[in-house]
Amino acid sequence: MAKTAIAYKEKMKEISVLSFICSCLYPETHKNIMGDFEDMDIKPINKRASGQAFEVILKPTSPVSDAAHCVTTPPKRDVSLEDIQKKLEAAEERRRSQEAQVLRALAEKRDHERDVLLKAMEENSAFSRMAEEKLQVKMEHIEENRQAYLAAIMERLQERVRTRGVDVLGS
């Protein structure tokens, strides 16, 4: 299938654009162009107001034409034991280099994870210290307020005792 597509592309290159357009516009004057190719037949299907349709039939390729498209490979040179040894050593060096690179990447990743963990621990301890300090200040403030409240109550009680006398304590 690929060979037929290649043959079709080559034949389409051979047909000039101008003659192809002319054959579409004036099919009567150029009927001899259609079907003149060795491995391709072009037949008009039907005429339409919008244009013309063609059927392109590709013939199977012959063995002679296959030989023309065959590309020969350059002759292989003899490979010596030294060349093979050099290639093996280069491959081993590439493998070592790649392993070292992977190990470096893993070490960097491990260092980064350790740094992130240390930073998180530092932030956590700083938050804990700050929360503890705030709580301590709050507790001191509450204790001061409690002491002030108790002192105010005691003072009011003593004021009542002074103004009313012993009756408050006796009743």
Could you give the dihedral angle defined by the CA atoms of residues 133, 136, 140 and 145, in that order, rounded to the nearest 10 degrees?
Answer: 100
Structure tokens at 118: 């240390």
Amino acid identity for residue 134 in this structure: K
pLDDT value of position 30: 45
* Beta carbons of 7 and 58 less than 8 angstroms apart: yes
Q: What angle do CA 161, 167, 171 make, to 5 degrees?
A: 115
Q: pLDDT (tens digit, 9 = 90+) per residue, 116-129?
A: 999 999 999 999 99
Structure tokens at 171: 């009743």
More confident residue, 52 or 104: 104
| Predicted pLDDT of residue 32 | 47
Q: Give tens-digit pLDDT for 40-65.
A: 777 777 776 677 777 887 777 666 65
What local confidence, expressed as pLDDT, does residue 13 receive?
65
Give yes or no for residue 91 having a pLDDT over 80: yes
What average pLDDT does this structure show over 122-151?
97
Q: Which helix (H) or strand (E) holds 75?
A: none
pLDDT higher than threshold 60 for residue 29:
no
Q: Can you give 28-74 as a three-state secondary structure string?
A: CCCCCCCCCCCCEEEEEEEECCCCEEEEEEECCCCHHHHHHHCCCCC
Cβ burial, residue 87 (10 Å; 0-12/13-18/19+)? exposed
Record the pTM: 0.38
To the nearest whole percent, how much of the chain has pLDDT over 70?
67
